[in-house]
Each structure stands twice: as structure tokens, then as C-alpha cells.
Structure 1
Amino acid sequence: MRLRNVSFLTGLLFALCGLLSVSWYTALSGSRGDVVDIYQREFLALRERLHSAEQENLRRSKELNLVLDEIKRAIAEKQALRDINRTWSSLSEETRLKLWNVSSSKNVLQLPSIFHHLPHLLSREDSLQPAVHVGQGRTGVSIVMGVPSVKREVHSYLTDTLNSLMSELSATEKDDCVIVVLIAEMFTDVHRCSPSLSRPVDLFPLSFYLSLFLTLPPGGVLCLCRWRSKQNLDYCFLMMYAQAKGTYYVQLEDDIVARPNFFTTMKNFALQQPSEEWMILEFSQLGFIGKMFKSLDLSLIVEFMLMFYKDKPIDWLLDHIMWVKVCNPEKDAKHCDRQKANLRIRFKPSLFQHVGTHSSLAGKIQKLKDKDFGKQTLHKGHVNPLAEVSTSLKTYKHFTLEKAYHGEDFFWAFTPVAGDFLRIRFFSPVRVERYFFRSGNIEHPGDKLFNTSVEVLPFDNIQAEKEALMDGRDKTPKYHRTEDGFIRIGSFHNGVAEGVVDSSFGPLEAVRLTVRTDSPVWVIISEVMSFLHKF
């Protein structure tokens, strides 16, 4: 019985072991099958991604080929456009405008552009390029100042205006601004319009003006309307050119003078505005002088001006822009004025004064003065060495040379002729390190000295001749000596004479200004300064 039980248990144990072996083998076989399936799926997925990448690469290659084809086509079209320029010019303005719309856009909508307002520009490929451009291409400044200028029949104020602006700018301020001068002549010699000024100068393309000969506003005087319309186009061209150069744009004229520190005053006033709603900051109450705009607003202003440049002067057009932007036709004029006051903000006192009397419109005389500019000093005094002053010029009223030398007033005299002089003879010899003379003043900027030399008389003439008049081993004259012993060391440029006195001259006995050619105007000496040598 016991043996039978043992046999039964042994058989049962073998059966369990067999069952476990079969189960383990089955599980192991299933696990291997799952791993193979996973590898197969990942391989198929990788293959699919590679196929997609290959397809994407083909698409990108096709796109690049299309871009290259477009570039080649554009180059070919530009070359073809140059070849058929004569044919294009012979087409009517209406036909050219239609062709422009067809070629410039595939859309159904035709977008307005400058060519809709000035369609004659389509006749020239370079119609929006300056005929002459002199400048450094500077951008990224705070303020761009635009100065349009044309030749006046009687007197040009441009040089005086630029000198006034530049003399009131510090070195730091000069780095933060750009002055753009637009020579806006319609018919002129190109070489004459490239003055020897180290400042950006542009000459208007003649083709920009052609529309001035097309129409006349109802009731308008032909000459006046053309002059006014051209002036509006001058402003538009300047604004379009200056927009990308700085943060703010200030419109000026070519017959003004500026207050000291005008640049920093304008910049700070703009930055201190409580909001960005303003459209115009005014730094002068006269005309279009000293008007500041945000460069971002210039596109809107130019577009509005181009639409109505033949119809209204610029100050009226600016008022119309503001009326359109903020005035409600259902409310009264007082409400409109209050709203416009938020867009047009006035700064006092004025920073610019109008000094021209002969307008760019032939035959027009205008004696406009900004009352808010205030009384300006007409001379600048300095402490100079004791001396006796004399002149061959005929003094006007009480404006004597002695008062100018002592800083009490300016010197004013009638028209100089060749050989006239102004002499300063020191009571005792002094060592002068530098000299400075300024002619003209803010009220009479044209009364300046022209072709006038600065001469000194050394106390020890013999030693001065040995040490200073000879330069180098060749003993060539370094300075010119006059017959009466004076040594010529400088001259006036744009109404100012300044320079250094050679230390080898030693103490000076006298300083003299000698007029070398006849002058067409009276003369004013508004500043005399001698920098004494410091021991």
C-alpha cells in the first residue's frame, strides 16, 4: 500500500515538472516573438520617416529652383525694362499707370501709391533718386533736420543758417543728429549745386517736378501756385529721404538762426511728453519752421500732402490732417480745438528765428519775426588786454570799434574797400596764444568780412623773422610779411577768423585786420577775443 502511494506521488511530481517545463518554454517563445515584432515595427517606422524626409527634400529642391527662376526672370525683366525705356516713355500716363498696376500685383485690388498722385514719375526709373548725393549715409540718430534751399535772386542765407546750427551743437550732439540739405533747384547746373560743405547735400531730381506744369487751382495765381506746390513737394521729398535716418524729424528753412542748446532742448521736450498721442511739436510759431514729427508718422503726412499738394499750403494741410484725425463734425469748433491741442504742442520760447527778407518766390519781400524768440544778444564780450584800437572804416552811429573790443557793444561800419583795416595796438607787448574774431550778428548775419586777413606785429621783429619766417633747411617763407612789418597768419572764412599764434613770434605789439578786396555789404564785428599765453 505504502509502495503504491510512493509510486503515485512520484508520478505526480514528474507530471508537475513536465507541466512547468512546457509552460516555461511557451513563455520564453512568446517573449522572443514580441521583441522581434517590436524591432520590425521600429524598422518600418524609420523607413517611413526616411521616405518622408526624402520627399521633403525633393519639395525644397523644387522650391529653391523656383526661387532661382524668379530671380533670373526678375533680372531679365529689369534688363528688358531698360531696353524698352524709350517705348515706355512714349506711352500716355494713363496707359503707364495701368501697366504698372498689372505688372506690380497679381491681386484684384490695386493699392494706391505715390505713382497715383504723381504718375509722371513712371517715365523715369530714377525719378525718386537724388540727382546728386553728398553724405555719409548715417542712420540711427535721434533727430534729423531737413533744410530745403533754392537760389534766391538777391541774397542766399543758407551758409549763415548752417553755421548757426552747427555752432550751437556740441560734439556729442553732432554725433546724435543729421542735417540734410536739399538743393531744390528745378533748372540748374549740377556742379553749382554741389557746394563745398562737409554736410549731407541732395539735389532734387528734375522729373519730380513735372506735375507743376499741368494744372492751376481755381482762382489761383499761376506763379504763386507753382511756387507753393513746389514747396510742398520739397517737403515731401525731404521727409521720404529722412524717415529712415532717425527717431524724430524737424523741418527747418534755409534763412533762420538757432538758439543755444536748441538740440538738447528739442530732444528732451519730445522725450518728456506724457503720451505718444502728439503729432507735431512746435519750436517756432512761424510757418513750417521748427516743426518736429515722429518719423513713424511721416508716411501718413507725406501721403496726405501728395494728395493735396496743388490745393493748399503746407500749414493748412497740417491743420486738415489733425481735423480729420480728431475732430467730430457733430461737435462745435471749441471741442475740435481742444482735441487738436493734444496733437499739436507748442514749446516756448521759440528756438528758431526767421532772418531772411528776400523770399525764394521772386520779388517777394517778407520781414517775418518770431516774437517768442526773445531779445538776442547782438554781441559777445570778453576781457581783452589793454590796447588802443583804430580803423579806417566809417563807423555807423555809436557802434564803435572800441566798444566791440571791450565787449560793450558790436562794431558797425559802412561798406569796406580794399586796403581798409582794423588795428589793435597793445599798450605793452603781450604774448597771444590764440585769436578769435566774429563778424555779423543774429539780426544782420550778412554784414560779414570777406577776403580779410589777420596780421600780427611782433615786438622783436628781427628775432621773429629769424625763427618764424623761415621754415626748414630750404629757408622758404612760412608766413607772408607786409611792407610795414606785419606778418599775415590767418584770414576770415564764413565771417569768422580763428587760429593759433606761432609761439616763436614772442610778445606782440599789435594785431590788424586788413580788407584785401572791396566788399558788397556793411560790416559788423560782434566778437573779439585774445587768448593770452599762460605762464
Structure 2
Amino acid sequence: MKDFLWIFITATVMMFSILFFIRENPFDTTSFLSFEEREMVAWQRARMQIHPGRTNPLETFKNMQKNSELLKNINSHILIGAPPMKKKLLTIGISSVQHPHGSSLLDTLQSLFFASSSSERKHFIVVVHLADPDPKWLGQMISNISTLFKLYIQAGQLVVINTPLTSYLLLNNLKKNFNDIPAHVAFYSKQKMDYAFLMNFATNHSDYFLMIADDVKCAPGFVTQIATIVSAWENRLWMTLNFSQLGFIGKLFHTRDLPRLVQFLLLFCQEMPCDYLLSNFYDLLIQQTPIQFFPSLFQPMGNYSFEGKFKSLKDKEFEENDPSSPSNPAASIYTNLKVANISVLVNAYSLDKNFFYAKSAEAGNHLTVVLDVPARVSRVQVLTGSHLKGKNHLEEGQVELGYDATNRVHDCDDYILLGLLENGTLNKQVLSTESGKKVKCVRLLVIATPPSGIIVRHINLWTK
């Protein structure tokens, strides 16, 4: 499959060398190319014939982008909200159209905002592209979103846009690939343009862009999970990080790569569905294989439909809140907190109703669980404070996962942030790739001195 696109590029280059095909064709994707670009493609064809073994797909694509007019006619309008004044960490993009079974966009937005804390929401903006031209549907969605999500709009966390049909390619005489019926080809061709226009709008508002669908449920704390992974991969080369196995859902990009991806989607919008096309785009930026994290952070809510036909679409790697009991494998506990005389440190990790009490704590203090045998930890839960009196919470603290390459006895040599405590608690899944390292340490770190002593009721671990 991944070689298909370069076969197509080669054929396209050869075709454009003939002057007949340089002529304007209103039903062809290449009608967006300028005359100079078409001449360049013809030159590429001659170059490939002379030096066929020295052709570089990335260089070919870069040349196709030079002086490009593909984005010249794009004129997306803001319907609701306003772009952020300052650059955010993350833009979450959703493109939505009408569906025969009804729209789930409002439920998706509800899940997205409910699955993120107030502190997490400060670091992202949601951009919704209402990509259906039906004025009645547009008016209804604008009204519903304005009413239900007023607080998020006023906080600058939600923007809704629309792109007029004049920016779209004509969807007549489309190519028939993979034995698809014409309606399928038209649907997927327009969908790629919908995505491209959304990404084009989102290019300058954040460091990263996350694409999700308009009918998904979001895992609690997904923003912190993604931020943690981004931090851990900061010094590694990647083009896309996948937080769902399905289609174009849960795909994370650097925003600096979006302009190239936008033009890629527009240039080849007739060739194949987005997820297949994306696998070819990997090759352009030298990412050989997808980088997939488990468990998935996004789950389709119900059934996928096309032309009134329904079929189940579920991500098997998405985990609901695990109702099973924690496993808490054998471990040693270490701390530099001031322990009360009557308190027992191991109670912080026990599975009974006992608890650990520290009479005072300062910024930089920690309580660290060191597993006897490193394990694949799938979920971590930390509960502080008295559940009866509602006191002695650790309000400002964070939980970190530790890995060890030097066989330390009482500690680890490499920690990454799992998440911040919210109201004295944390309950998060742990993402990892198939080749992910095993966790040796789980550290509760005090990041600001609390006004009184703290209670650590439970540090619970689930392992695979």
C-alpha cells in the first residue's frame, strides 16, 4: 500500500509532461496547480527518466509545493469564539458533517471538556470545523454549541469555523479506486478537504495538533497523558503519535508539519481514505512505522454509518475505568517526609483500610514505591486526605513514573510525569508503546508546602 502513492506520483509526473494535460481541467485535482507548477512536474518527469535511481520522494513533493496555489482560495470563517491571544500547547481539531443516524458532535464536546480538568483546559483550544453546507444544520449546530458550551467559548477554549464551498474542489468525474462506488470516492475526497481546511486554520495557534472525530468518548485526563508522552519524546524524531488505532482518530502532529500535510491531502484527495494516505505521508518525514500508544484514549461512541448502513466501530485498546481490584505487586517504600510516631509507612501502599500520616511536608519531599520486579503498570491511583473529615489533602503534588537502567536499589534514574493531583487525588491510565519499558518506581512528589500534615490513604497500582 505504501508504495502505491509513489507509483501514482510517478504516473502523474509522466502524464503532465505532455502538453495536452497541462491544459485546464475543471474536474481534475490538478486544476489547483498553477501553470508554473505543471511545468515543474513535467521537468520532474524528464529528471526521473534521466536519473530514475536518484529520485527522492520528499524532494519531489517539496518541489511540487514551490509557488503552490493550492491554499489560495481557502477562506475559512469563524462562526463562534476567537483564536487564542497566546500560543497554546495543543489544538484539538474536530471536523463534523451531518450523519444519517444523527450528530454526536455535542456529546463529543461534552466528553472532551468533562474529561479534562480546569488546569488542563488552560493549555488547549478546541477548533470545530462545521463542514456541512446545509444552512439549516449549520444554524442549529451554531445555536446548540453557543448555548451548551458558552463558558468554554467565553474562556477562549472553543472556536467554531466553516469553509464555504467556493474553497472546495469540484467533485465530478472522480477517480474510482479500490472498486469504491462514486459516492464513497466523493465522500472521502471531500473529507480530506474538510480535514485540510481545519488543519490550515489551526497551524499557528499551538505547538501540537490533535485530530479526533465528531463521535468519540475521551478518556479522563487524556490531555495530561498526551503532554506526558510529548515531554518524554521531546528529543526523539517523530511525525505522528497515535493515541487510537482507528482511522484518523487520536493522531498527534507538530503544528510545524501541518502546512505540508494540508497540501498533501489536497494534492492527493482523490487517491484513498485519509488513514491510508497518512501511512504514505509517514515516508515523507522519515517515520518508518506508526508509533502507537496503549491503551487508546478515544473510543467511537456508537456505530459508523455510510448511506444509512451501520456497522460497529470500536477500539479494542480503549479501556473504561477498571472496576477490578488493584494488584500492588511486592515493593519497598521510601520517603523523606516527617513521619508521625504512630504512623506506618507501608500503610500508604497496603490494600486494606489503613493509611499513612506525615505530620509535616515541604516542597521537594517524596514518597516513593520501588517495585521488587519492574512491571507493566496500566493504571495508577493516588488518594490523599481523610475521606471522612475531608482534611489533610495534598493539594499541590504530582505523581511520576520511574525507570531504571543502572540497577539502583532505593530509587530510579529516570522519571517522567504521570499527572498532577486534583483535589488531592490522581487516577490515570499509563500509556506505553508495544516496546514500552517496565515501571520500577512510582513517586508522589510534594511541589508546594501544605499548611498542615498530609494523609496518604492509598497508592494503588494495576499491572498487566
- Is residue 2:198 matched to residue 1:238? yes
Please tell me whether residue 367 in structure 1 is matched to residue 312 in structure 2. Answer: yes
**Amino acid corresponding to residue 145 of structure 1 in structure 2:** I
User: Rg larger in 1 or in 2?
Assistant: 1
1:287 aligns with 2:233: no
Q: Separation in 1 of the partners of 2:210 and 2:241?
A: 9
2:302 to 331, 353, 356: 356
Identity of aligned residues (%): 31
Q: Which runs of 5+ in 1 are unaligned?
A: 1-90, 102-108, 122-126, 327-338, 379-535
Partners of 2:285 and 2:201 in 1: CA distance: 25
Residue pair 1:257, 1:352 contacting (<8 A) in 2 also: yes
Equivalent residues in 2 for 1:159-170, closer than 5 Å: 159-170=106-117
Change (3 A) 1:224 1:274: same
**Structure 2 portions without partners, runs of 5+:** 1-23, 38-62, 151-157, 324-464
- The equivalent residue for 1:264 is 224
Q: Are residues 145 and 95 of structure 1, via their aligned partners in 2, closer, same or farther at CA, if it must alter by over 3 Å?
A: closer
Residue in 1 aligned with 2:409? none
Q: Distance in 2 between matches of 1:211 and 1:112?
A: 23
Deviation at 1:187, TM superposition (A): 3.5
Q: 1:92 to 1:355 in 2, by over 3 A?
A: closer
- 2:273 maps to amino acid: P
Q: Distance in 1 between matches of 2:322 and 2:172?
A: 46
Q: Does the CA-based 8 Å contact 1:252-1:290 persist in structure 2?
A: yes
C-alpha deviation, 1:131, in angstroms: 4.3
Which residue does the alignment assign to 1:213?
172
Q: Report if the CA contact (8 A) 1:193-1:203 is conserved.
A: no
Q: CA RMSD, aligned part only?
A: 2.9
**Are the equivalent residues in 1 in contact too, given 2:76–2:197 (CA < 8 A)?**
no
State the match for 2:282 in structure 1.
Answer: 322
Q: Give the structure with the higher percent strand.
A: 2
What count of residue pairs does the alignment treat as equivalent? Answer: 258
Q: 1:345 aligns with which of 282, 287, 291?
A: 291
User: Among residues 65, 88, 91, which one is paired with 1:141 in the alignment?
Assistant: 88
The separation in 1 between residues aligned to 2:79 and 2:216, in whole angstroms, is 24
From the superposition, tell whether residues 377 and 274 of structure 1 become closer, same or farther in structure 2 (CA, over 3 Å).
closer
Distance 1:297 1:348, change over 3 A: same
2:139 maps to 191
TM superposition score normalised by structure 1: 0.44
The Cα shift of 1:98 comes to 6.2
Q: How does 1:415-426 map to 2 (within 5 A)?
A: none
**CA offsets, 1:189-213, max 9 Å, x none?**
4533423323311122111234222
Counterpart-to-counterpart distance in 1, 2:144 and 2:243: 29
Residues 186 and 142 (structure 1 numbering): CA distance in 2 closer, same or farther, change over 3 Å?
same
CA distance in 2, matches of 1:195, 1:310: 34
SS at match of 2:220: coil
TM-score by length of 2: 0.51
Q: Deviations over 1:473-532 (max 9, x none)?
A: xxxxxxxxxxxxxxxxxxxxxxxxxxxxxxxxxxxxxxxxxxxxxxxxxxxxxxxxxxxx
Contact 1:157 1:356 in 2 (8 A): no
Larger RCO: Structure 1 or Structure 2 (Cα < 8 Å, ≥ 6 residues apart)? 2
> 1:252-308: CA deviations, max 9, x gaps?
001100111110110110111163411111111111111100111111211222211
Q: Which has the higher helix share?
A: 1
Distance 1:354 1:98, change over 3 A: closer
Change (3 A) 1:281 1:187: same
